[in-house]
Structure 1
Amino acid sequence: MDHDRTAAPLSADEADARARQLISEAYAPRYEVPTSYRDETKPSAYVPTPPVAQPGRPPMSQRATNASVLMLSGSVAALSVGGATSLVLYTLGQVDPVTLAVGGAAPVALVLAAGSLLKAAGRAKAAAAPAEVHNHFTGPVRQETTNVSSQTRGLVARTTNRFDG
Protein backbone atom coordinates (compact mmCIF):
# COMPACT_ATOMS: atom_id res chain seq x y z
CA MET A 1 0.00 0.00 0.00
CA ASP A 2 1.66 3.18 -1.22
CA HIS A 3 1.24 6.49 0.56
CA ASP A 4 0.96 9.83 -1.11
CA ARG A 5 3.64 12.35 -0.35
CA THR A 6 0.87 14.81 0.24
CA ALA A 7 -0.75 12.55 2.85
CA ALA A 8 -0.29 13.21 6.51
CA PRO A 9 2.85 11.69 8.06
CA LEU A 10 2.50 8.40 9.92
CA SER A 11 2.35 8.27 13.64
CA ALA A 12 5.12 6.43 15.51
CA ASP A 13 2.92 3.34 15.99
CA GLU A 14 1.88 3.31 12.30
CA ALA A 15 5.50 3.75 11.15
CA ASP A 16 6.61 0.93 13.46
CA ALA A 17 3.85 -1.38 12.13
CA ARG A 18 4.73 -0.50 8.54
CA ALA A 19 8.45 -1.19 9.15
CA ARG A 20 7.65 -4.56 10.76
CA GLN A 21 5.47 -5.45 7.74
CA LEU A 22 8.23 -4.54 5.26
CA ILE A 23 10.87 -6.47 7.24
CA SER A 24 8.68 -9.59 7.50
CA GLU A 25 7.98 -9.44 3.73
CA ALA A 26 11.71 -9.06 3.00
CA TYR A 27 12.70 -12.09 5.09
CA ALA A 28 9.76 -14.28 4.08
CA PRO A 29 10.62 -17.23 1.79
CA ARG A 30 10.06 -16.31 -1.83
CA TYR A 31 8.91 -19.72 -3.08
CA GLU A 32 6.56 -22.17 -1.48
CA VAL A 33 7.76 -25.06 -3.69
CA PRO A 34 11.34 -26.38 -3.61
CA THR A 35 13.57 -25.11 -6.40
CA SER A 36 15.96 -28.05 -6.44
CA TYR A 37 15.97 -31.78 -5.80
CA ARG A 38 18.81 -34.13 -4.88
CA ASP A 39 18.38 -37.78 -5.83
CA GLU A 40 19.98 -39.86 -3.09
CA THR A 41 19.72 -43.24 -4.88
CA LYS A 42 23.01 -44.89 -5.83
CA PRO A 43 23.71 -45.00 -9.59
CA SER A 44 24.07 -48.43 -11.16
CA ALA A 45 27.51 -49.71 -12.12
CA TYR A 46 26.54 -50.07 -15.79
CA VAL A 47 24.63 -47.42 -17.69
CA PRO A 48 24.16 -47.83 -21.45
CA THR A 49 25.37 -44.71 -23.21
CA PRO A 50 25.27 -43.77 -26.86
CA PRO A 51 28.51 -43.89 -28.83
CA VAL A 52 30.54 -40.70 -28.91
CA ALA A 53 32.81 -39.72 -31.78
CA GLN A 54 36.44 -39.87 -30.71
CA PRO A 55 39.17 -37.46 -31.80
CA GLY A 56 41.04 -38.37 -34.97
CA ARG A 57 39.55 -39.88 -38.09
CA PRO A 58 35.75 -39.97 -38.06
CA PRO A 59 34.10 -43.37 -37.62
CA MET A 60 33.51 -45.14 -40.93
CA SER A 61 33.21 -48.61 -42.38
CA GLN A 62 36.25 -50.82 -42.98
CA ARG A 63 35.82 -50.45 -46.75
CA ALA A 64 35.77 -46.65 -46.47
CA THR A 65 38.84 -46.74 -44.21
CA ASN A 66 40.71 -48.92 -46.72
CA ALA A 67 39.77 -46.57 -49.57
CA SER A 68 40.90 -43.56 -47.53
CA VAL A 69 44.28 -45.12 -46.78
CA LEU A 70 44.66 -46.09 -50.45
CA MET A 71 43.96 -42.51 -51.54
CA LEU A 72 46.39 -41.07 -49.01
CA SER A 73 49.18 -43.44 -50.05
CA GLY A 74 48.40 -42.79 -53.73
CA SER A 75 48.73 -39.05 -53.18
CA VAL A 76 52.14 -39.57 -51.52
CA ALA A 77 53.23 -41.70 -54.50
CA ALA A 78 52.00 -39.06 -56.97
CA LEU A 79 53.84 -36.36 -55.05
CA SER A 80 57.12 -38.27 -55.15
CA VAL A 81 56.77 -39.03 -58.88
CA GLY A 82 55.92 -35.40 -59.63
CA GLY A 83 58.83 -34.16 -57.52
CA ALA A 84 61.28 -36.52 -59.23
CA THR A 85 60.04 -35.48 -62.67
CA SER A 86 60.37 -31.79 -61.75
CA LEU A 87 63.90 -32.35 -60.44
CA VAL A 88 64.97 -34.13 -63.66
CA LEU A 89 63.48 -31.40 -65.85
CA TYR A 90 65.14 -28.70 -63.77
CA THR A 91 68.57 -30.32 -63.98
CA LEU A 92 68.39 -30.94 -67.73
CA GLY A 93 67.38 -27.40 -68.56
CA GLN A 94 65.74 -28.39 -71.82
CA VAL A 95 64.15 -31.65 -72.83
CA ASP A 96 63.18 -33.23 -76.12
CA PRO A 97 59.32 -33.24 -76.39
CA VAL A 98 59.23 -37.00 -77.12
CA THR A 99 61.31 -37.72 -74.02
CA LEU A 100 59.02 -35.47 -71.98
CA ALA A 101 55.90 -37.28 -73.27
CA VAL A 102 57.38 -40.71 -72.47
CA GLY A 103 58.50 -39.56 -69.01
CA GLY A 104 55.10 -38.03 -68.23
CA ALA A 105 53.06 -40.95 -69.59
CA ALA A 106 55.08 -43.72 -67.93
CA PRO A 107 53.70 -43.24 -64.37
CA VAL A 108 50.14 -42.95 -65.70
CA ALA A 109 50.56 -46.10 -67.78
CA LEU A 110 51.99 -47.90 -64.75
CA VAL A 111 49.01 -46.92 -62.58
CA LEU A 112 46.52 -47.97 -65.29
CA ALA A 113 48.29 -51.31 -65.76
CA ALA A 114 48.31 -51.97 -62.00
CA GLY A 115 44.61 -51.07 -61.80
CA SER A 116 43.63 -53.44 -64.59
CA LEU A 117 45.76 -56.18 -63.01
CA LEU A 118 43.97 -55.70 -59.67
CA LYS A 119 40.56 -55.78 -61.42
CA ALA A 120 41.48 -59.00 -63.20
CA ALA A 121 42.62 -60.55 -59.92
CA GLY A 122 39.37 -59.49 -58.24
CA ARG A 123 37.28 -61.01 -61.07
CA ALA A 124 39.28 -64.24 -60.88
CA LYS A 125 38.72 -64.45 -57.14
CA ALA A 126 34.99 -63.81 -57.54
CA ALA A 127 34.73 -66.42 -60.29
CA ALA A 128 36.46 -69.08 -58.17
CA ALA A 129 34.12 -71.86 -57.06
CA PRO A 130 32.91 -71.63 -53.48
CA ALA A 131 34.34 -74.15 -51.05
CA GLU A 132 32.41 -77.40 -50.79
CA VAL A 133 30.71 -78.11 -47.49
CA HIS A 134 30.50 -81.71 -46.28
CA ASN A 135 28.35 -82.42 -43.24
CA HIS A 136 28.16 -85.83 -41.58
CA PHE A 137 25.31 -86.41 -39.14
CA THR A 138 24.21 -89.34 -37.01
CA GLY A 139 20.62 -89.31 -35.87
CA PRO A 140 17.63 -87.15 -36.85
CA VAL A 141 18.71 -83.73 -38.09
CA ARG A 142 16.80 -80.73 -39.36
CA GLN A 143 19.03 -78.48 -41.41
CA GLU A 144 18.06 -74.99 -42.56
CA THR A 145 20.19 -72.81 -44.79
CA THR A 146 19.54 -69.11 -45.32
CA ASN A 147 21.50 -67.04 -47.78
CA VAL A 148 21.32 -63.26 -47.52
CA SER A 149 22.72 -61.16 -50.33
CA SER A 150 22.94 -57.39 -50.09
CA GLN A 151 23.53 -54.95 -52.88
CA THR A 152 23.96 -51.19 -52.49
CA ARG A 153 23.85 -48.93 -55.52
CA GLY A 154 23.57 -45.29 -56.42
CA LEU A 155 24.81 -41.90 -55.30
CA VAL A 156 22.08 -41.83 -52.68
CA ALA A 157 22.54 -45.38 -51.42
CA ARG A 158 19.69 -47.81 -51.98
CA THR A 159 20.25 -51.23 -50.44
CA THR A 160 18.44 -54.31 -51.71
CA ASN A 161 18.42 -57.39 -49.47
CA ARG A 162 17.45 -60.76 -50.90
CA PHE A 163 16.78 -63.75 -48.64
CA ASP A 164 17.05 -67.24 -50.11
CA GLY A 165 16.36 -70.31 -48.10
Structure 2
Amino acid sequence: MDTPQQPQRTAGQTAADAVAADLIAAVEAAVAPAVPTRPAGPSATPATPPEPLAAPAPLATSYRDPAPVPAVGDALPVAQPGRPPMSAGATDASVVMLAAGGGVLMAGGGVGFALWALAGVDPLTLAVAAGAPVAILAALSRLVRRAGQAAQQAAPVTHHHTYTGPITQTHHTATTTTARGMFARTITKNGR
Protein backbone atom coordinates (compact mmCIF):
# COMPACT_ATOMS: atom_id res chain seq x y z
CA MET A 1 0.00 0.00 0.00
CA ASP A 2 1.26 3.43 -0.88
CA THR A 3 1.92 5.91 1.88
CA PRO A 4 -0.15 9.07 1.45
CA GLN A 5 1.78 12.20 0.74
CA GLN A 6 2.01 14.68 3.54
CA PRO A 7 0.97 18.18 2.49
CA GLN A 8 3.63 20.81 2.48
CA ARG A 9 3.14 23.45 5.14
CA THR A 10 4.22 26.99 4.59
CA ALA A 11 5.35 29.32 7.29
CA GLY A 12 2.29 31.57 6.92
CA GLN A 13 -0.38 28.86 7.42
CA THR A 14 -2.33 28.86 10.63
CA ALA A 15 -2.85 25.75 12.73
CA ALA A 16 -6.52 25.43 11.62
CA ASP A 17 -5.53 25.53 7.97
CA ALA A 18 -2.90 22.87 8.64
CA VAL A 19 -5.46 20.57 10.34
CA ALA A 20 -7.94 21.07 7.48
CA ALA A 21 -5.26 20.27 4.91
CA ASP A 22 -4.25 17.13 6.84
CA LEU A 23 -7.89 16.00 6.94
CA ILE A 24 -8.40 16.53 3.23
CA ALA A 25 -5.21 14.60 2.43
CA ALA A 26 -6.31 11.69 4.67
CA VAL A 27 -9.74 11.49 2.99
CA GLU A 28 -8.18 11.54 -0.49
CA ALA A 29 -5.76 8.80 0.51
CA ALA A 30 -8.58 6.64 1.90
CA VAL A 31 -10.76 7.05 -1.19
CA ALA A 32 -7.98 6.69 -3.80
CA PRO A 33 -7.69 2.85 -3.82
CA ALA A 34 -11.48 2.44 -4.23
CA VAL A 35 -11.64 4.57 -7.39
CA PRO A 36 -10.85 2.50 -10.50
CA THR A 37 -8.30 4.07 -12.76
CA ARG A 38 -8.01 3.85 -16.58
CA PRO A 39 -4.83 3.88 -18.44
CA ALA A 40 -4.38 6.97 -20.56
CA GLY A 41 -4.67 6.81 -24.31
CA PRO A 42 -7.17 5.79 -27.03
CA SER A 43 -6.48 2.07 -26.80
CA ALA A 44 -7.22 1.92 -23.10
CA THR A 45 -9.39 -0.93 -21.99
CA PRO A 46 -12.19 -0.19 -19.59
CA ALA A 47 -11.45 -0.94 -15.99
CA THR A 48 -13.02 -4.03 -14.50
CA PRO A 49 -16.09 -3.31 -12.41
CA PRO A 50 -15.52 -3.49 -8.66
CA GLU A 51 -16.56 -6.69 -6.96
CA PRO A 52 -19.85 -6.52 -5.11
CA LEU A 53 -19.53 -6.11 -1.37
CA ALA A 54 -20.60 -9.00 0.78
CA ALA A 55 -23.60 -8.38 3.03
CA PRO A 56 -22.57 -7.77 6.62
CA ALA A 57 -23.31 -10.49 9.10
CA PRO A 58 -26.54 -9.85 11.06
CA LEU A 59 -26.04 -8.44 14.53
CA ALA A 60 -27.95 -9.79 17.50
CA THR A 61 -30.45 -7.25 18.84
CA SER A 62 -31.69 -9.25 21.82
CA TYR A 63 -30.79 -12.26 23.90
CA ARG A 64 -32.94 -14.50 26.07
CA ASP A 65 -31.20 -16.42 28.79
CA PRO A 66 -32.53 -20.01 28.73
CA ALA A 67 -31.63 -20.63 32.39
CA PRO A 68 -34.71 -20.83 34.67
CA VAL A 69 -35.32 -17.93 37.02
CA PRO A 70 -34.80 -18.95 40.66
CA ALA A 71 -37.88 -18.80 42.90
CA VAL A 72 -35.94 -17.12 45.70
CA GLY A 73 -32.83 -15.15 44.97
CA ASP A 74 -29.87 -14.49 47.21
CA ALA A 75 -29.96 -10.69 46.79
CA LEU A 76 -30.65 -8.59 49.87
CA PRO A 77 -33.97 -6.70 50.00
CA VAL A 78 -33.76 -3.15 48.71
CA ALA A 79 -36.17 -0.36 49.58
CA GLN A 80 -38.29 0.40 46.52
CA PRO A 81 -39.30 3.90 45.47
CA GLY A 82 -42.83 5.05 46.27
CA ARG A 83 -45.01 4.21 49.26
CA PRO A 84 -43.51 1.88 51.85
CA PRO A 85 -44.89 -1.66 51.95
CA MET A 86 -48.07 -1.94 54.03
CA SER A 87 -50.88 -4.39 54.61
CA ALA A 88 -53.88 -4.31 52.31
CA GLY A 89 -56.05 -2.74 55.00
CA ALA A 90 -53.50 -0.01 55.70
CA THR A 91 -53.17 0.68 51.98
CA ASP A 92 -56.95 0.95 51.60
CA ALA A 93 -57.18 3.25 54.61
CA SER A 94 -54.41 5.51 53.30
CA VAL A 95 -56.09 5.76 49.90
CA VAL A 96 -59.39 6.68 51.59
CA MET A 97 -57.62 9.31 53.70
CA LEU A 98 -55.90 10.80 50.67
CA ALA A 99 -59.19 10.90 48.74
CA ALA A 100 -61.04 12.46 51.68
CA GLY A 101 -58.30 15.05 52.06
CA GLY A 102 -58.58 15.96 48.40
CA GLY A 103 -62.36 16.21 48.65
CA VAL A 104 -62.17 18.42 51.73
CA LEU A 105 -59.60 20.59 50.01
CA MET A 106 -61.84 21.05 46.96
CA ALA A 107 -64.97 21.69 49.05
CA GLY A 108 -63.13 24.16 51.27
CA GLY A 109 -61.73 25.96 48.24
CA GLY A 110 -65.22 26.17 46.71
CA VAL A 111 -66.74 27.56 49.91
CA GLY A 112 -63.87 30.02 50.28
CA PHE A 113 -64.33 31.20 46.70
CA ALA A 114 -68.10 31.54 47.20
CA LEU A 115 -67.58 33.59 50.36
CA TRP A 116 -65.01 35.76 48.64
CA ALA A 117 -67.37 36.32 45.70
CA LEU A 118 -70.30 37.14 48.03
CA ALA A 119 -68.31 39.58 50.17
CA GLY A 120 -69.84 42.61 48.46
CA VAL A 121 -73.46 41.39 48.44
CA ASP A 122 -76.15 43.05 50.57
CA PRO A 123 -76.89 40.87 53.69
CA LEU A 124 -80.66 40.98 53.11
CA THR A 125 -80.23 39.78 49.52
CA LEU A 126 -77.95 37.01 50.72
CA ALA A 127 -80.47 35.91 53.37
CA VAL A 128 -83.29 35.81 50.81
CA ALA A 129 -81.15 33.85 48.35
CA ALA A 130 -80.10 31.36 51.04
CA GLY A 131 -83.65 30.95 52.40
CA ALA A 132 -85.35 30.53 49.03
CA PRO A 133 -84.29 26.89 48.47
CA VAL A 134 -85.50 25.91 51.95
CA ALA A 135 -88.86 27.60 51.37
CA ILE A 136 -89.22 25.93 47.97
CA LEU A 137 -88.49 22.49 49.46
CA ALA A 138 -91.01 23.07 52.26
CA ALA A 139 -93.69 24.13 49.78
CA LEU A 140 -93.03 21.12 47.54
CA SER A 141 -93.20 18.66 50.45
CA ARG A 142 -96.50 20.20 51.58
CA LEU A 143 -97.84 19.98 48.00
CA VAL A 144 -96.89 16.30 47.72
CA ARG A 145 -98.47 15.54 51.10
CA ARG A 146 -101.71 17.32 50.13
CA ALA A 147 -101.80 15.49 46.79
CA GLY A 148 -101.43 12.16 48.61
CA GLN A 149 -104.24 13.02 51.01
CA ALA A 150 -106.48 14.14 48.15
CA ALA A 151 -105.83 10.88 46.32
CA GLN A 152 -106.82 8.89 49.42
CA GLN A 153 -110.03 10.90 49.94
CA ALA A 154 -111.02 11.01 46.28
CA ALA A 155 -112.14 7.40 46.05
CA PRO A 156 -113.43 6.18 49.40
CA VAL A 157 -113.51 2.44 49.90
CA THR A 158 -117.00 1.00 49.56
CA HIS A 159 -117.79 -2.15 51.53
CA HIS A 160 -120.54 -4.45 50.32
CA HIS A 161 -121.50 -7.16 52.79
CA THR A 162 -124.08 -9.83 52.32
CA TYR A 163 -125.21 -11.45 55.58
CA THR A 164 -127.51 -14.30 56.37
CA GLY A 165 -128.64 -14.31 59.96
CA PRO A 166 -128.59 -11.85 62.85
CA ILE A 167 -125.60 -9.43 62.61
CA THR A 168 -124.39 -6.69 64.95
CA GLN A 169 -122.05 -4.18 63.34
CA THR A 170 -120.29 -1.37 65.24
CA HIS A 171 -118.35 1.31 63.40
CA HIS A 172 -116.35 3.89 65.34
CA THR A 173 -114.03 6.60 63.90
CA ALA A 174 -112.08 9.08 65.99
CA THR A 175 -109.88 11.71 64.41
CA THR A 176 -107.76 14.23 66.25
CA THR A 177 -105.73 16.97 64.62
CA THR A 178 -102.99 18.53 66.67
CA ALA A 179 -100.86 19.84 63.79
CA ARG A 180 -99.06 23.00 64.82
CA GLY A 181 -95.90 24.33 63.20
CA MET A 182 -94.17 23.74 59.93
CA PHE A 183 -92.97 20.18 60.50
CA ALA A 184 -95.72 18.84 62.83
CA ARG A 185 -97.21 15.36 62.47
CA THR A 186 -100.91 14.62 62.69
CA ILE A 187 -101.74 11.55 64.78
CA THR A 188 -105.02 9.75 64.28
CA LYS A 189 -106.09 7.42 67.11
CA ASN A 190 -108.83 4.93 67.25
CA GLY A 191 -111.18 5.80 70.15
CA ARG A 192 -111.49 2.33 71.75
Whose relative contact order is higher, 1 or 2, with alpha carbons under 8 Å and at least 6 apart? Answer: 1
Instruction: Report the structure, 1 or 2, having the larger helix content.
Output: 1
Structure with higher Rg: it is 2
TM over 0.5: no
Bigger strand fraction: 1
Q: TM-score, normalising length from structure 1?
A: 0.30
TM-score, normalising length: structure 2: 0.27
